[in-house]
Amino acid sequence: MPTDVSIRDESIELDKFLKLSGLCDTGGQAKYVVQSGFVTVNGEPEERRRRKLVIGDVVAIEGADPVRVARRETPGS
């Protein structure tokens, strides 16, 4: 079961999400793993580091647990 990682907006670019989720430490590392074909989004290989992810998308890197894009809870919702 994927771990949820909350985002502030309705979408986020894949490379930024990889850093936010802790799957990658740097932007350079995110670029490398995406362009090298180590990343899947919703079970499909993804090589576009600027791909827009939306709430519910599941991202995985070979050898790491998958993470899901989640909506950040706001007070009063």
For residue 59, the domain's CATH number is 3.10.290.10
pLDDT tens digit sequence for 18-67: 999 999 999 999 999 999 999 999 999 999 999 999 999 999 999 899 99
User: 75 pLDDT exceeds 90?
Assistant: no
Q: State the residue range of the domain holding 38.
A: 3-71
Q: Output the pLDDT for position 31.
A: 95
SS3 of 13-59: the string is: EHHHHHHHHCCCCCHHHHHHHHHCCCEEECCEECCCCCCEEECCCEE
For residue 14, being part of any structural domain is answered with: yes
Q: Output the pLDDT for position 76.
A: 57
